[in-house]
Amino acid sequence: MKTQVVIIGSGPAGLLLSEILHRHGIESLVLERQTREYVLSRIRAGVLESTTVDVLRANGLSERMDREGHPHDGMRIAWAGRDSFLVDTASTLGRRFMVYGQTAIQEDLYAAADRRGQTVLTEVQDVVLHEFDGRPGAKPYVTYTRHGQAGRVDCEFIAGCDGFHGVSRRSIPESVRKEYEKVYPFGWLGVMARVKPLPDITYVNHPQGFALASYRNSQLSRYYIQVPVDDKVEAWSDDRFWSELTARFPAEMAEMIETGPTIEKSIAPLRSFVSEPMRYGALYLCGDAAHIVPPTGAKGLNLAVSDVFYLSRALASWYGQGKDELLNNYSAMALRRVWSSVRTSWYLTTLLHRFPHFSDFDQKAQEHELDYLKNSRFAQAALAEQYAGLPFEMVS
């Protein structure tokens, strides 16, 4: 087979990229290691920055989101013994967020791919990237096996959208790659329950550990608590979880939390990770293939969308006008936004969690940082700008 762009991975980054490229008349083929059912079953974040909402709307992918999504104005922060406060992105920046689950976005993207007849090969194994290093005369291609049969796709560009454990990033020579990583000494136990959510997305700092109230819709709540990184889901009954969660919220908020049977429960470790560069020859990385952020700032999916925005714009410039400037600048431009989000996620994680190694000094400094944030409109404006996500870099 032959195509212009091979996209490895059919998650949100891969299918969104294929959709936007199609709108620019650029052919692509998507390779996916898992089954379609597996991809659609993954539970992920659902807080969309205004720029992500704009990208979905601009590419005809917002009808269901605008119907079922829930706009909100910011994030509420609470901590033991203190009043909560709202970091209001709407009044500060004039920008609102959208609560709309990644699973729903994935469904929308597959539906759009089906409508246009996009080729998505699932259950693909043994993917190997060839001749993509940019040497003169090199002609990129990808080989794989599927259902026991060998396959090959010749192409001009390769987009690695296959996540942290995918083959794309690892195909870049170690002598070229520079990786930055911070592993946090705790994880998040998250549950989904068909109960009415709290009015605001609320982050809680408590002596027993961090907690978070989020939601997917008016009758589907998502809650998290900080747990030791080696904890097991089996140790957490529903009763134990709800008791621990409500203990961490201020009393007036705890009384508002509805409890019920959980429909999903998992523990996720927290890490910050960035791999540079995000471009090597004809290979371009997008999303988790290049970076991981703690979920504290709800940045993962939004960063994947910004990567896709920059890469699709660069490819459209190349195929439409023969200009390679945006392709050459893709890595540097994407990484500026990545590191901004990495910093915000790191800041919120440090601010809101109880670290096992914290000294009395560390704890006092954290508490006074929260006090400063509560009482300074300038500090809140700075956090609102970072939490909301910076606007995309424009080009003339």
pLDDT in tens, 278-325: 999 999 999 999 999 998 988 999 999 999 999 999 999 999 999 999
| Residue 100: φ, ψ to 5° | -160, 115
Domains defined along the chain, listed by start: 5-70+101-181+271-352 (3.50.50.60)
Contacts of 302 (CB under 8 A, 6+ apart): 48, 49, 51, 52, 341, 389
Residue 79: pLDDT band by 50, 70, 90 thresholds? confident
pLDDT of residue 148: 94
Contact 31, 14 (CB under 8 A): no
User: Environment class of residue 303 by beta-carbon count within 10 Å: exposed (0-12), middle (13-18) or buried (19+)?
Assistant: buried
The structure's pTM equals: 0.93
Residue 216: pLDDT band by 50, 70, 90 thresholds? confident
pLDDT of residue 73: 85
> Residue 270 and residue 224: Cα distance in Å, rounded?
13
Inform me whether the pLDDT recorded for 215 exceeds 80.
Answer: yes
Which residues, in sequence order, are bridge partners of residue 3?
none
The β-bridge relationship of strands 74-79 and 47-48 is: unpaired
pLDDT in tens, 117-176: 999 999 999 999 999 998 888 999 999 999 999 999 999 999 999 999 999 999 999 999
Q: Higher-confidence residue: 94 or 337?
A: 337
> Residue 311 and residue 329: Cα distance in Å, rounded?
10
pLDDT of residue 241: 97
Contact 212, 79 (CB under 8 A): no
pLDDT of residue 27: 98
Average pLDDT over residues 30-58: 90
| Residue 214: φ, ψ to 5° | -135, -170
Tokens matching residue 333: 């431009």
Catalytic residues: 72, 203, 295, 299, 387
Inform me whether the pLDDT recorded for 44 exceeds 90.
Answer: no
pLDDT of residue 83: 79
pLDDT of residue 139: 95
pLDDT in tens, 336-374: 999 999 999 999 999 999 999 899 999 999 999 999 999
pLDDT of residue 396: 67
pLDDT in tens, 227-277: 999 999 999 999 999 999 999 999 999 999 999 999 989 999 999 999 999
pLDDT in tens, 8-24: 999 999 999 999 999 99
pLDDT of residue 213: 93
